[in-house]
Structure formats: C-alpha cells, structure tokens
Structure 1
Amino acid sequence: MSDVLGLADPERENGLLLRLIEAASIGPAVEPLASAVAQLITDATDTDVCFVHVLDDGERSLSLAGATAPFDRAVGKVRLPIETGVTGWVARNRTPTVIVENKESDPRYVPIPALRGTDFTSMASVPMATDTAGLVGVLNVHTVVRREFTDRDIRLLVVIGGLVAGALHQARMHRRLAARELATERFTEQVIAAQETERRRLAGDIHDGISQRLVTLNYHLDAMEHTLLQDPQVAAGQLVLARELLDLTLDEARAAIGGLRPPVLDDLGLAGGLASLARSIPELELSLDLAEERLPEHVEIALYRIAQEGLQNITKHAGATAGRLRFAVRQGRAELQVSDNGAGFDTVAISETATGYGMRSMSERAEVVGGTLHVASTPGGGTTITAVVPVEGLRA
C-alpha cells in the first residue's frame, strides 16, 4: 500500500488531528469517546477495524471500550487480563508491535471469538499512554489483506494513542468519581438503614429482654418483702430467683453495650480484643500474630470492627477451615490482616459490581481513620483482606 493510502499522508494527519479534537469534546463518558476514536482511526488509516482497549480502575485487565462495526456490539463485554494476548503484551511492555501475517503462530496471540481475529491478516498494536496518566489502554488496528505497517505508521499511531490517552484518562477519572459518588450515596443509605435497624433491634432487646426482666425482678422483690417475716423459706427462694434474673439482665445489658462499643478493648486492648474475637469462632482454626501495641481509641475501634466483619464474612461465605489474623505496627503504620483458605472469588470480575454492605463497610471504616483497605483473592485460592492505617505521631 502506497504512502498516499497509508498513514503518512499529511492531509490525513491534519484531518485526523481535527477529528481527534472533535472526539475529545464529545463528553466525559469513556465508551462514546473510544467508539468515536475507533471509527476515525479506521477512516484515516485505511484499516478494516479498530479496537480501543482501556485499562480498568484496578489496572489488572483491559476492557473493550470502543470498536468499529460490527464489533461495537462487543463493547463492554470483552475483558482481557493484563497478562493475556498481544494486547496484554503491549500493555505490559508499553511497546508497539506489528504482526504482518500468521498471527496464530505468534506465541503471544490468544484468539478472542467475539473479535474474530482469524478474519484479519495483519495488525498493529500500540500503547495509549502519557507521562502524567501512565498507561491508559491499547489501540489495535487490523486489516483483512496483508499489510506492511511502516515505522512512520507506527509513530503516528503512537502519537494518536498519546492524544487519545489524555482524553480517555480524563473520562476515566470522571467515571471513577461518578462511581465513587454513587457508591458513597448508596453506602450512606445503607448506613442510615443499618442504624435504624440497629436502633429498632436495640429498642426491642431492651423492651423484650431487659425491661421485662426488671419488671419480673421487681415482682420477686415485692414477693420477698411480703413473705420475709411470714415465711423466710419462700422469701429466700424469691431472693434466689431475683439474683438469677439480675445476672441474666446484666448479661443482656453487656451484650447490648457490646453492640454499640466493644468494651473488651478497654479491658484487653486491641490485641487482646482480637484474640477474644478469634476465640468466639471455634469452628475456624485461626492462627494469631498480634502485636501488643495500643493505638488511639477511634483507630482501635475501626480495626476491631474490620476484623469482626472480615471474620463474619469468612464464616458466612468462604467455606474456609483455617485462617490467620495478624496485627502489627511498624514504620508509622498499623496493619491488620485477615486471611482464609476458603473459596475465594474473582476480584477482577466483581470490581465494578461489588456493592455489598460488608465489604463497603470495611473499606469506609478504614478510610474514616485515614487508611486503606486492600482485598486479594482468587477462585479456590482463599482471600486476604489488609487494612493499613497511618499512625505516625498518634498517641494512644
């Protein structure tokens, strides 16, 4: 193919630049921008199809964000792990690559049925990256007939990738911010609902348990008062019943208080509280590695609740037989880690859909005290939840 029909035509380069500027002004959404870019690149480069793969927020996979027809129907449905295929190789190495023919013989090539790679002979793949945003995605162009992509072709595609990367990075940031705002709204609603549920539960516990027992206790004391002189044995029996009711009422009161604030932290500190928490789950074999360090009260409560939620998740969902609970303070950071040998899950697959209250609650508790929560899991490989909180300069 001659330079006149290739990417080296100055007129086409200028036209492409103008169309890129127009595409960048479409709006903050990733998919419309990527689709517009895919179409204008195929028009300007005389290629048959263009795929725009964008790095997801977790930077572990690439999602098809834009494509020319008829592959536009696959947008949002194709996701490639960062270590997979030619596209993954280009993303990892941030180096353009060209396959002129026989893609199947290239050890990097992995067929994707939805994209019908065998229908095309030649391809060029370049990273979309900028100095400020880093890697944003990968841009692929394909041709049905055999084509030699020149060095100038590749340089121009790299420039296009850089220009597109800036706009796509802004669109990703906007999407991430919008998703976070939505998640925050949902979490706030869940917190309010949970607070109201907890208040109703606590009120019910006090009314049905503590209040009723106090009424009955008062009855036994009245009976003891009336029979104390007439029948001391009956009075003594009433006193025994009164003491039993008092013990039950105190237990219920402690349980209610513990639901609001873990008193074990006052008595034993965070390490002792975590050990006590582990002992409350006898069905799970937990190894403990807990530093005897005291932290500010609000940090200890947050880490205790994160551990509590993490252990509850293990018993409810993981199907685990063993786990580990670790707490350490070093280099100005407190680190809490809860791990298990259970079923695990695909963090990439659920990264954009996981909105469960438990996981969000742990993440929010960490963020409230200035920390972060990281979840590492693979199907069949167990799960590790790590909360890290900076404590430099904080005094317990």
Structure 2
Amino acid sequence: MTRRGDRTAGPTSVGPGAVRGLVDAGGEVALLLEIIRLTANGPAVEPLAAAVARMITEATATDVCFVHILDDTERTLILAGATSPFDDHVGQVQLPLGMGVSGWVASHRTPVVITEDKESDPRYLPLPALRGTEFISMASIPMESDRGGLVGVLNVHTVERREFSPRDLELLHVIGRLVAGALDQARQHRRLAMRERAHERFVEQVIANQEAERRRMAGDIHDGISQRLISLSYHLDAATHAVDDDAVEVAVQLAHARDLLGLALDEARVAIGGLRPPILDDLGLAGGLASLARSTPQLPVDIAVDDERLPEHVELALYRIAQEGLQNIVKHAAAALATLRFRVHHGVARLDVSDDGVGFDVTRTQQFGATATPSGYGLASMTERAELVGGRLRIRSRRGVGTTVTVTVPLGHQRERC
C-alpha cells in the first residue's frame, strides 16, 4: 500500500494482489484509439477537454476527471473540461501554478498519487466548487507536448480508496501526451483567432479615427473657409457694382479676384468631397457607386450593384477603390465602355471595375510594382485600401482586350458590426 509520505511518483512496491489496474489491455487500446480519433478532428479546447474527461472516467471506472489547461499567461491553470456534475464549473475554476496538487504537478512536471487522507498532504488545497472531500484517492498527471511543453494537468478521482500502479500512471501519461498535442494546437488556433480579431478591431479603429478626423476637417473647411469665401464673394460683387464708370482698372482687378474666388470655392468643395463623400452617409455604397458612374461623363459606365449596407470603413474603402479605378480607366485605358459591379454573396463582398480598353501586361506590373506599370495605372493605393479592410485585390488584363480589377472582402465579424 502507498505510504502517506511517498505520494509523488505512486507506489514503489505493491503486492500483485493489491494492484487494481485502471483498465485491461483491450480496453486500454480501445481508449487510446478513441482519443487519437478525437484529437485528429481538431475540436476547440473546451469540447476536446470535456470529451476526454468523459472517455477517461468511462474507460477507467474512475468517478470524476478534471482537465486543467494553462491560460495564455502560462501562470494559471483553468478548468477546461470536467465530468458531470462539475461541467458547469468549466472556465470558472482557476489555480495559480504551485498552488494545490494540480499547481504543484504543473510546476514540477511530476505525477502525484494520493491514495487516501488528502488533507494531510501539504500540497492539497480544498476547492469547494470541486468537492474534493467527497473523493478518497486521486492521480494527477502533467500533460506535455513535444512542441508546446506543459499544456495542463489531468486529474482522476475515486470515491472509494484506490491504488494506482506504475502501469496506470503510464497509461494516463500517454493519454496526457496525446491530448496535450491537440489541446496545444487548439489553444494556438484560438490565440491566432484572437490576434486576428484584435487586428481587425485595430484596423477598423484606425480607419474610423481617420474618417472622424476627415469629417472634422471637412466640417472646418465648410463652416470656416467656405463661408468666408462666400462672404468675400458678396463683398466683391458689391464693390464691382459700386465703382465709378471711370474706374475701369479697379473693375478689372475685382473681376480677376472674383474669378480666383470662384476657383477657391470649387477647390474647397472638391476637398470636402475628397475627405469624406457625403453620399455614403446618405445613400450607402450602392448609392455612392451609382453616383460615381453618373459623374464620369467622359465614359459610359454600365453598373449593377446590390443594395447592401456594409461597415462604414469597408464601404469607404470599396468606394475609393471604385473611384480610383474609374479615374484610371478615363486616364489610361482608351476604353469605350466601363463596367462597375458590386455584390455580397456567402459573406463576401465583391467589387469589379472593368473596361474594354487597351489593357496592359500584368506580369510586368507584378515585376516592377503596382506604381510602375507601363500604362500608368496607380494600383498601390487600391491594393493598400483592400488589404487594410482584410480584403484582396486581383488584376486581370490583356493588351487589346481590357482590364478588370476585382476586390473581395470577407465580411465575417465585420458584418456583425455594420
């Protein structure tokens, strides 16, 4: 029988009749195969931990099983999986490394077996939520993966007193290593997903801040510079009518000032529209694209767009890409017709800007960079806008056939925030 003072590595010498194995050889193979099958499916951390806990208790005739996983700080164990009735506590029980039996096992990477009288073990820390006093015997095994090191701790408990042999511990150790690899992979996947969501939020916030600043600047121009220019225009008109007939030169100079003022007003209005297209706020992307098509008098534009609202920063990016694409066609393509298409399908927004113009060599474009194309297309800013909102820009072109610029933006989390 295990001595109370020797509980770290399990019993060292046990009579053959006193050892009760966790599971027979056939059951052991079946259990390992089932765990391999389960981990190969790559579920998330909590479902995998819960499924493993259930399988271990069923196969080993133990009463409860707890799977504790290191959190992202790697300083705290969190209960990630448990058998009933403790499954309600998943995610709520936390144990710093070094505290309790599980914390000790995680710190020392060494199994612990307690056959009875847990309260006398200095490492034992009662957790009321897990009702440890109701269980007599326990085995605690570190779960380690070759790539990720320590992943967590696997515990089994029994209501009745039970011996755990070296073979029992070896089996639990093998299970721990099998599960650790899958749990570590699931944990890394979760971390990556969290980083991606954080990146999305960061990009969205950056664009939102830029747009807020542009709105402020547009308002300042409209309320300040534009209003002063308009007021000045009235004064110039009044001065023009007030001069005497013999003051011809004064009238000429005032007329020149009036012309310059008109140009300044036009430039201020263009600047306001460039900072933030008001039509996006009023009519959304569909209305904005339709307005772009109508405001390109040099070229007929065939347009077909879905009336779908997207997050503000995505709408702005697609509007600017379409705007620059149409400008490029007018400047460089020598086209007879442009085509503008926008649709949302299966959670992906797609924008196509096409022409039937002269086209260019896409291979050379990729070789020399988007801003150094032989036809003068400035594609770098369009590519940057697409990538900032998590999208991708693709160019298809052939000389004498025309060009199509396609932007696809997976909406995903972005759609939920529109």
Structure 1 length as normaliser, TM-score? 0.51
**Counterpart pick for 1:180 among 186, 189, 195:** 195
Aligned twin of 1:192: 207
| 1:182 CA displacement | 2.1
1:78 aligns with 2:93: yes
Whole-angstrom CA distance in 2 between matches of 1:2 and 1:9: 15
Aligned twin of 1:378: none
What is the total number of aligned residue pairs between the two structures? 229
1:33 aligns with 2:48: yes
User: Given residue 31 of structure 1, which amino acid in structure 2 is its aligned partner?
Assistant: E
Whole-angstrom CA distance in 1 between matches of 2:78 and 2:34: 24
User: Given residue 18 of structure 1, which amino acid in structure 2 is its aligned partner?
Assistant: L
Structure with the greater alpha carbon radius of gyration: 2
Change (3 A) 1:20 1:208: same
1:91 aligns with 2:106: yes
Determine helix, strand or coil for the equivalent of 1:66: strand
Whole-angstrom CA distance in 2 between matches of 1:132 and 1:213: 68
CA contact (8 A) 2:146 2:181 kept: no
- Quote the RMSD (CA, aligned, Å): 3.3
**Counterpart pick for 2:146 among 113, 131, 134:** 131
Whole-angstrom CA distance in 2 between matches of 1:217 and 1:180: 53
| 1:128 CA displacement | 0.3
Aligned twin of 1:55: 70
1:124-171 CA-to-partner distances (Å, cap 9, x unmatched) read 101000222101110000111111211221122111111111111111
Whole-angstrom CA distance in 2 between matches of 1:108 and 1:217: 84
CA contact (8 A) 1:26 1:33 kept: no
Change (3 A) 1:75 1:3: farther
1:166 aligns with 2:181: yes
| 1:211 CA displacement | 6.7
Whole-angstrom CA distance in 1 between matches of 2:83 and 2:17: 24
CA contact (8 A) 2:38 2:48 kept: yes
User: Given residue 84 of structure 2, which amino acid in structure 1 is its aligned partner?
Assistant: A
Aligned twin of 1:148: 163
1:204 aligns with 2:216: no
Structure 2 length as normaliser, TM-score? 0.49
User: Given residue 190 of structure 1, which amino acid in structure 2 is its aligned partner?
Assistant: Q
User: Given residue 27 of structure 1, which amino acid in structure 2 is its aligned partner?
Assistant: G
Determine helix, strand or coil for the equivalent of 1:58: coil
User: Given residue 195 of structure 1, which amino acid in structure 2 is its aligned partner?
Assistant: Q
Whole-angstrom CA distance in 1 between matches of 2:64 and 2:17: 19
Change (3 A) 1:191 1:3: farther
Whole-angstrom CA distance in 1 between matches of 2:52 and 2:18: 22
| 1:5 CA displacement | 5.3
CA contact (8 A) 2:19 2:165 kept: no
Aligned twin of 2:263: none
Gaps of 5+ in 2: 1-15, 236-418
1:119 aligns with 2:134: yes
Aligned twin of 1:44: 59
Whole-angstrom CA distance in 2 between matches of 1:2 and 1:217: 107
Determine helix, strand or coil for the equivalent of 2:79: strand
| 1:201 CA displacement | 2.4
Aligned pairs for 1:259-298 (under 5 A) are none
CA contact (8 A) 1:3 1:9 kept: no
Determine helix, strand or coil for the equivalent of 2:95: strand
1:339-381 CA-to-partner distances (Å, cap 9, x unmatched) read xxxxxxxxxxxxxxxxxxxxxxxxxxxxxxxxxxxxxxxxxxx
Identical columns (%): 69
